[in-house]
Amino acid sequence: MLESTWQWFTGGGSQQILLTAIVFLLVGLFLGKRMRSPVEDKHTEAANRGDSSFFKGVQYLLSNDHDQAIEEFTKSVQVNSDTIETYVTLGNLYRSRGDIDRAIRIRQNIILRPNIDEQIKIDALFDLGKDYLKGGFLNRALKTFLQVSQKNPGDARTLKEIESIYEGLKDWENAYATRQKIARLESGSHEHILAHHLVEAGKVCQEKGDGGKAKTLFNKAISTQKTCVDAYLHLGDLHFAKQEYKKAISVWKKVAEIAPQFTFLAYGRLEGAYTKMKNLEPVEDFLKECARLNPDAFTHMALARYLYNKNDMEGALREISNALSLNPGFWEARRFRGQMFLKSGAEDDMLKDYSEIIEVLNIPYLRFRCIQCGFEPNELLWQCPQCNQWDTIGLINDKEAPVDAIQ
Alpha-carbon gap, residue 150 to 357, rounded angstroms: 61
* pLDDT confidence of residue 216: 98
DSSP 303-335: HHHHHHHTT-HHHHHHHHHHHHHH-TT-HHHHH
Q: pLDDT tens, 182-203?
A: 999 999 999 999 999 999 999 9
Other Cβ atoms closer than 10 A to 308 = 20
pTM: 0.71
| Digit-coded pLDDT (tens) for 89-122 | 778 888 888 889 988 988 888 888 888 889 989 9
pLDDT at 365 over 70: no
Q: Catalogue all structural domains in the chain, each as residue range(s) with its CATH number.
A: 2-176 (1.25.40.10), 367-407 (no CATH)
- What is the reported pLDDT for 96? 83
Q: Does residue 58 carry a pLDDT above 70?
A: no
Looking at residue 39, what is its pLDDT? 44
What are the φ/ψ torsions at residue 394 (nearest 5 degrees)?
-150, -175
CB 255 within 8 A of CB 266: yes
What residues pair up with 393 in beta bridges, in sequence order? Answer: 370
